[in-house]
A and B are shown apart, each in its own frame.
Chain A
Amino acid sequence: MNIPTNLKYTKTDEWFDPATGAMGLSDYAQGQLSDIVFVEIVVSTGETVAPGKPIASVESVKAAAETYASVGGKVVAVNEDLSGNPEILNTDPYVKGWMVKVEGAQASGLMDAAAYTKYCEERVH
């Protein structure tokens, strides 16, 4: 399981990069979902998102899931490549698989990599 140390994480398996304002779905989450076949980003540039509000709808061969904003802020970019290439979320969830970028984010209440690793391990038996 890949959990980069420069990122922050939510209990609902999203990541946030304080350096760039990018957010997306964690490697653990993509592994649980298995082959992702559909992604729809449900927010647009210029919109303000609140933590815990849906930013994307993701479907795999196993399940459909919502991805929530890990932090609040103003959306400054949306990854247009994902809808045509949903498999990016499986192959590269942290770099090419970013979903939206926000500015003015308050990264509070998120887990660091060590805490998130422990949280993931607790759920795999």
Chain B
Amino acid sequence: MTEPTIYELSSPGRTGVTFPVPDVPLAKLPQNLLRKELPLPELAEVDVVRHYIALSKYNYSVDDGLYPLGSCTMKYNPKINEDTARLPGFAYTHPLQPVETVQGNLALMFTLQEWLKEISGFAALTLQPAAGAHGELTGVLIMRAYHRDRGDPKRVRMLIPDSAHGTNPASSAMSNLEVVQIPSDARGNLDLVALKAACDDATVGLMLTNPNTLGLFDEHLEQVIKIVHDCGGLVYGDGANLNALLGILRPADVGFDVMHFNLHKTFSTPHGGGGPGSGPVGVSEKLADFLPAPLVGIIEEGSDEEPPLFGFVTPKKSIGRVKAFHGHFGMMVRTYTYISMHGPDGLRKIAEYAVLNANYVKARLKGVYTVPFDRICMHEFVVEGQWAEAPGIRALDVAKRLMDYDFHPPTNYFPLIVHEALMIEPTETENKRTLDAFADALLKIADEAKTTPSLLHEAPHKTPFGRMDEVKAARELVLCCWLPEDYGD
């Protein structure tokens, strides 16, 4: 049941659209820019529609079912977000319009800046970064600029836990900083002895994900932050796991200096192919002057009769622009909608149910799956996808077999500090029936692993394609199917 590519479906001369005879004179195009052939597929409208409908049936999304991809917060995305993002006043504006003509859009951005500041406790915030890792890069550049501005350029080392997202060392390396890995302790916290030993006058700061990628809240959070501050470093918060803390803990209140948000995780804007993302960055008072420019601000105060005039402001020591125009505005509209629909109490419930759901699934799997660092988890948890009684079965086999039970697999082989890791984040949007069906499937698979391992080795069986050859795909890269004849070397 392989759907051909759209090029294979092409038939010379077939068309979907008949262009009208031009009613203006044809422009003369430069000869050197013209080519004789343009190998685009030729199809009728019905062929195109059926092709893409067929492909869409191969897909799996949060609208199909549970998507427990750990650290990704694949919660259900409410459809009202899509309605508001398509309102003409939001959808049909251009970022180069005079500010007087887009006051509604700017008011939304300004209010969202204020709300995210209130949720996180930070003093100032930019909406520009395009996604989480871009927010990290922005935050790290701000930390670097802060130290340089203080006349302390010898700080070149960023401390990063061994459980961190890979984007943390990548953002630091891109900022020309040296990465120092800090191990975790036996309870899944950051190792305080190693942290103390690594902190010195060359430390830019620490990039900390809390709860971490094991789904655990660091039991020494305040000590960790104090150790870094005592050596003159700053603490960066990776906000990927903010879903667990909404309305419960404000990262700035416990001493984080800078943090990115993932609107596409915590605040339900689409991602994983439906993107784009959005990664606002909040900072403490002392870093506010370094934020990217421009920010949305009030240019003229309002009165009882008149609303304020919104416009753009440039922080004094700004690191500059990090994104064309003002970031992904459509995601800001969706986030504004999501926060409005929930309100303060609703946001807190998100965190409570996310944590409850994760602990419920963990409790159902415990005893059958090995749970390393077994303590109350936050919004996600990690188990091992291996058993002594099932030699040769790995996390990948469990993940693939889950597809036969109509569930998206969890994140696997991350975090790196757990053998054969399966990282499960159910999110708050799943009900008990779904969570039970998912836990039942995982328990059945654990049984199959020991009794009929071939079911796992050969999985998935029910998908349009079976097990892909990952090794071949990675070793024999074919990234382009076609180049124009006169492309040259």
**17 A–B pairs (Cβ distance < 8 Å), ordered by A:** A35-B470, A35-B471, A37-B474, A38-B474, A38-B475, A59-B474, A61-B470, A61-B471, A61-B474, A62-B413, A63-B414, A63-B416, A64-B166, A86-B475, A87-B475, A124-B419, A125-B419
B471 x A37 contact (CB < 8 A): yes
- Tell me the bound Cα distance from A87 to B472 in angstroms: 11
Residues of A21-66 contacting chain B, CB below 8 A: 35, 37-38, 59, 61-64
Whole-angstrom distance from the CB of B164 to the nearest CB of chain A? Answer: 13
Would you call the interface of chain A mostly helix, strand, loop, or mixed? loop
Partner among A37, A124, A125 whose Cβ is within 8 Å of the Cβ of B475:
A37
Whole-angstrom distance from the CB of A122 to the nearest CB of chain B? Answer: 13
What count of chain B residues pass the 8 Å CB interface test? Answer: 9
What count of chain A residues pass the 8 Å CB interface test? Answer: 12
Whole-angstrom distance from the CB of A38 to the nearest CB of chain B? Answer: 7
Contacts of B416 in A (CB 8 A): 63
Contacts of A63 in B (CB 8 A): 413-414, 416
Whole-angstrom distance from the CB of B417 to the nearest CB of chain A? Answer: 10
Contacts of A35 in B (CB 8 A): 470-471
Whole-angstrom distance from the CB of B369 to the nearest CB of chain A? Answer: 14
Report A's interface with B, CB cutoff 8 A: 35, 37-38, 59, 61-64, 86-87, 124-125
- Tell me the bound Cα distance from A124 to B388 in angstroms: 11
Contacts of B419 in A (CB 8 A): 124-125
Contacts of A64 in B (CB 8 A): 166
Residues of B347-400 contacting chain A, CB below 8 A: none
Apart from the given pairs A37-B471, A61-B471, 7 other A-B contacts in the complex at a CB distance below 8 Å = A35-B471, A37-B474, A38-B475, A61-B474, A62-B413, A63-B414, A63-B416
Whole-angstrom distance from the CB of A71 to the nearest CB of chain B? Answer: 20
Chain A: CB-nearest residue to B472: A37
- Tell me the bound Cα distance from A59 to B474 in angstroms: 10
Whole-angstrom distance from the CB of A70 to the nearest CB of chain B? Answer: 17
Whole-angstrom distance from the CB of B331 to the nearest CB of chain A? Answer: 29
Whole-angstrom distance from the CB of A123 to the nearest CB of chain B? Answer: 8
Whole-angstrom distance from the CB of B454 to the nearest CB of chain A? Answer: 20
Residues of B84-107 contacting chain A, CB below 8 A: none
Chain B: CB-nearest residue to A65: B416
Contacts of A125 in B (CB 8 A): 419
Whole-angstrom distance from the CB of B183 to the nearest CB of chain A? Answer: 11
Contacts of B413 in A (CB 8 A): 62-63
